[in-house]
Amino acid sequence: MADAKRQANKITIIQHEIAQAVERERALQQELTDKTLRNRIRYQSGEQEALLPLLFEVTPTGIIVGELNERGSPKQVTVLLDAALNTAIQGWQTGGADAAAQFGSAKATVLAPILVQHPASGWYALLVIRQDSIGSSNGLRDMLRASGYEVGWQIWNQADGSFFEVSPDGTKSVGTDGAIP
């Protein structure tokens, strides 16, 4: 009987140690994820250190907007998808002369609420430059500068996936705590 009780106590101790190890593993995984996300922010050009980065990742079909969370890691705020915005992105990519004019309606309807919530007096634009959207990023850069924002950039290797880790169809976020409308 005493032997059975000893075995039961050993099992309880082992189960407790396993639970502690699982929790340590979860904490280490979270720390690694946080460090990986923080390392994505490498270049910030703001002259005033008080300015916060408003992150923009131009994709072939839309713009992903993000901020830094309380841990300093990028978090997705929204994905802007709109026919006028898509037309402007395509125009920027190909160097179309009327791309800025095409973007006017998209800026008024899609991007304006983001810019109002993040005024240039407290934020600067940090563009995530992807190989497939260099021209589009240049168009967005020019528009943001015209709107009064300081603009910095981060070259992003697409082999590493999307900066905000969004699924290819843009419908869900993976590994971020932002929301998609």
Write the single-letter amino acid at 165. Answer: E
Quick one: 58 and 95 in the same domain? yes
Helix (H, G, I), strand (E, B) or coil at 180: coil
Quick one: 16 and 86 in the same domain? no
Quick one: 11 and 47 in the same domain? no
Beta bridge partners of 90: none
Quick one: 54 and 34 in the same domain? no
Q: How many domains does the chain have?
A: 2
Quick one: 59 and 125 in the same domain? yes
Please tell me the predicted confidence (pLDDT) of residue 178: 36
pLDDT in tens, 93-115: 766 555 555 555 555 567 788 88
Which range, of 131-140, 156-165, 168-177, averages the lowest pLDDT? 168-177
Give 17's pLDDT tier (boundaries 50, 70, 90): very high
Extract the runs of DSSP E, i.e. beta strands, from 81-173. Answer: 123-129, 151-155
Q: Is residue 175 part of a domain?
A: no
On whether the pTM is more than 0.85, the answer is no
Range of the domain at 6: 1-39
Q: Is residue 180 part of a domain?
A: no
Please tell me the predicted confidence (pLDDT) of residue 21: 93
Quick one: 52 and 84 in the same domain? yes
pLDDT in tens, 66-93: 888 777 778 888 888 777 777 777 777 7
Quick one: 35 and 102 in the same domain? no
Quick one: 33 and 54 in the same domain? no
Quick one: 35 and 48 in the same domain? no
Quick one: 150 and 64 in the same domain? yes
- Across the chain, mean pLDDT equals 74
Annotate 144-161 with b (16+ C-beta within 10 A) or e (fewer).
Answer: beeeebbbbbbebeeeee
Quick one: 156 and 89 in the same domain? yes
Could you tell me the CA-to-CA distances from 179 to 56, 79, 83, 111, 125 in Å, in that order? 15, 9, 21, 16, 19
Does residue 164 have a pLDDT over 60? Answer: yes
Does residue 64 have a pLDDT over 80? Answer: yes
Which range, of 27-41, 118-132, 163-177, averages the lowest pLDDT? 163-177
Give 22's pLDDT tier (boundaries 50, 70, 90): very high
Quick one: 124 and 58 in the same domain? yes
